[in-house]
Amino acid sequence: MEKPPLRDYTATNAASAPPLLNTLTPSRRTSSNRAFAAVYTCAIVALFYRHTQTLLSSKTLVSFYVTLTLFVSDLILAFNWASGQAFRMRPVYRKEFPENLEKVVKTSDLPGLDVFICTADPYKEPPISVVNTALSVMAYDYPTEKISVYVSDDGGSAFTLFAFMEAARFAAHWLPFCRKNDIAKRNPDEYFATDYKMSSETEDIKIMYESMKMRVEHVVETGKISEEYNTSDEVRQVFSQWSIDGFTRQNHPTVIQVLLDQNKDKDITGNCLPNLVYVSRQKSKTSPHHFKAGALNVLVRVSAAMTNAPVILTLDCDMYSNDPTTPLRALCYILDPEMQSNLGYVQFPQEYHGLNKSDIYACEHKRLFKVHPVGYDGLCGPNYVGTGCFFRRRALCGGPSTLILPEIDGLCPDSVVNKPLTAPSVLELAHHVAGCNYENQTKWGSKIGFRYGSLVEDYYTGYRMKCEGWRSIFCYPETAAFLGDVPFNLLDVLSQNKRWAIGLLEVAFSRYSTITFGVKSMGLFMGLGYSYYAFWAILTIPITTYCLLPQLALLNELSIFPKVSDPWFLLYMFLFLGAYGQDLLEFVVDGGTIQRWWSDQRMWIMRGLSCHAFGLTEFVVKSIGIPAEGFNVTSKIINDEESKRYEQGVFEFGVPSPLFVTLTMAAIINLLSLIIGLVHFIVDGGSNKEGLVMQLVLTGLIVMNCLPVYQAIALRSDKGKMPTKTTVTATLLASAVYVVASLFLK
């Protein structure tokens, strides 16, 4: 990763200026990025000049339609490239100095922190994993009396409630242990998996944790509490009631359990414990619940009624804290007087543990979570990515100069809560604002809180906040602030990306479209930056075109690209090598490897041939009023066989899925095209030999990217191989596409 020099801060101005909380340094690549953008733009203009010439001089319908298809595909690729330049215009790097905070503000004056953790399915999101996430933030190097953790359980699961009741007891031992021993990894599961320092105290804590973990996992597996467990009567009573009621809790009242109250609950050393509140909101089949955005808005209101901290941290249930000083780093920006007027949130990158060496599914998303936010930060700041984000509560209530007050005074961002969590009036208000009908005829989800209208509520919320005038900061410390889990099989990866694609298209084609409303509200570059992702799914058009059209033309010995001896050939080579070269450079400079870059560009093709195509289709179907499937939680569970194959870098197919059919079809067509094309080229290429070179090279690259598919079809016998049903269906579809294309191209 590029390491820019820090801003000069000499002893002369140090004596007169307040302590430095953060610095900002522009990237050294800015000038070269702009120069390359200018040259590449000229090349794109030249490409469309050639396309136009070819269109106007077309003498056959085949030539006209082939050129028109390539023209449209290149137009989409050009838009994608142009919108991506927004990230390269002014990338900046920041550094914060949390050690200087105590010189600016007293510890007793630090703002309160409300932490939101959302979970929805105890079978896909194991309760013990959610518990570890909560414990890692409860143990922050931050005044415990200022921390409140709110857990939203949209699954309404007795398992999750049981797990947190157990965690509340364990926290009384874990938190003082972390403080006493200055533990860096405060996720118990991760800590005990490392080479920790052995001592009798450590072994006692480990036994205590493993005992709790065993109880929680046993309850999830069996659905009941064993009599031998040392579990309180309260836990048994609540679990028994919930087990009878069922786990989906449809049409049930809101459940709010105060599991820890800092005013009365102490750890084993006598210090107060952070607040820990469990919330299972009311859900009704007759009222929309707006998925995660709805759950977060319930937590905004419930926390406002109970603690109303001015700073809110949102976390995914599997994204635990990896650095106990993270809140202090965020405050280096939130408490900076020069930023306070319009700073909405501080976003940390999503980083992951457990990735295999080559990251075969490109789950690191290096551009989305690391490279592009650095570029955003030089404009108006990075987008909200759903987790690892510290919000100012005020930023959820209208723009910097247009405060929109909630309908109840007790929910206002500057309201002071001076009653205990368990006070009847506090609990009554909390239950009221968590009701499924509370938001009717209010501005929640439209003007206040997390925004509704897209499956990607994080992207949409951050985008709307920027349009209102807020800016954000990208905090990228050397030690990862948060670490999370990634899906370990291809179907989960593609399903997750399909959901993102649909949600982004919902924004792109809404009244708040990034290319119109966004550009008008935020300016050209920020509007283009958001458009880069909003129109992400339409890349399926050029990707599918270039993965099928040249290959089908090659099978019919039809040349559609310039000959090697044609000067236009050099233009095509420059466009291809320039785009890929710049992409590789950015990836490697930010700490990536060539092996992971290859996986990333391979998944770019695979997504375009599968989840983006299906996502675009589903969005169009929904737009014309035909119902489609809803939100699905990505599984965080992996079995031993899948884990072993993943560590070996072997793709996991395993189960039949339509997402695999189109991918396999394209792989089959490309392989046959390469084989037959090479035979024609070597044996009887004739005068058309030069015209087929580019098609052969392109087909060869796609075949190399599809090697995992070929292995899954023919060379594997494990449970992760390609299902026979998928292979047969894809083969029949490939044959049909070839027959139709041959009739058209001849």
Enter the tokens of residue 551.
């290959």
Name the burial class of residue 441, with classes exposed (0-12), middle (13-18) and buried (19+) by CB atoms within 10 angstroms of its CB: exposed
Reduced to 3 states (helix: H, G, I; strand: E, B; else coil), residue 638 is coil
**Distance, CA of 702 to CA of 709 (rounded, Å):** 11
Enter the tokens of residue 210.
């493993």
Q: How many Å separate Cα 493 from the centre of its chain?
A: 11
Whether the CB-CB separation of 503 and 496 falls below 8 Å is answered with no
In sequence order, the 6+-apart residues with CB closer than 8 A to the CB of 91 are 26, 27, 29, 30, 33, 374, 375, 377, 378
Residue 292, annotated ligand binder? yes
Reduced to 3 states (helix: H, G, I; strand: E, B; else coil), residue 152 is strand
Whether the CB-CB separation of 152 and 114 falls below 8 Å is answered with no
Residue 217, annotated ligand binder? no
**Distance, CA of 69 to CA of 576 (rounded, Å):** 18
Enter the tokens of residue 297.
């808005």
**Distance, CA of 691 to CA of 687 (rounded, Å):** 8
The angle at the Cα of 681, spanning 677 to 686, to the nearest 5 degrees, equals 130
Enter the tokens of residue 158.
């007795």
**Distance, CA of 439 to CA of 434 (rounded, Å):** 9
Active site amino acids: 154, 458
Neighbours of 388 (CB within 10 A): 27
Q: 255's torsion region: left (phi>0), alpha (psi -120 to 50) or beta?
A: beta
**Distance, CA of 515 to CA of 512 (rounded, Å):** 9
* Residue that the structure tokens 């009621």 belong to: 245
Name the burial class of residue 80, with classes exposed (0-12), middle (13-18) and buried (19+) by CB atoms within 10 angstroms of its CB: middle
Whether the CB-CB separation of 373 and 382 falls below 8 Å is answered with yes
The angle at the Cα of 633, spanning 627 to 636, to the nearest 5 degrees, equals 155
Enter the tokens of residue 599.
């996986």
In this structure, the strands spanning 92-96 and 22-26 are: antiparallel
Of 389, 297, 296, 400, nearest to 343 (Cα)?
400
Whether the CB-CB separation of 255 and 277 falls below 8 Å is answered with no
Residue 357, annotated ligand binder? no
Of 160, 210, 165, nearest to 188 (Cα)?
210
Whether the CB-CB separation of 652 and 488 falls below 8 Å is answered with yes
Enter the tokens of residue 466.
């920027």
Of 397, 632, 656, nearest to 503 (Cα)?
632
Task: Report DSSP letters for 179-229, one per residue.
Answer: HHHT-S---HHHHTTS-PPP-HHHHHHHHHHHHHHHHHHHHHHHSS--TTS
Task: Report DSSP letters for 88-109, one per residue.
Answer: GSS-EEEEE-GGGHHHHS-GGG
Of 639, 618, 613, 636, nearest to 628 (Cα)?
618
Cα end-to-end span (Å), the chain? 51
Residue 316, annotated ligand binder? yes
Torsion angle of alpha carbons 221, 226, 231, 236, nearest 10°?
80
Residue 96, annotated ligand binder? no
What residues form the annotated binding site?
124-125, 154, 292, 316
What residues form the annotated binding site for UDP-alpha-D-glucose?
124-125, 154
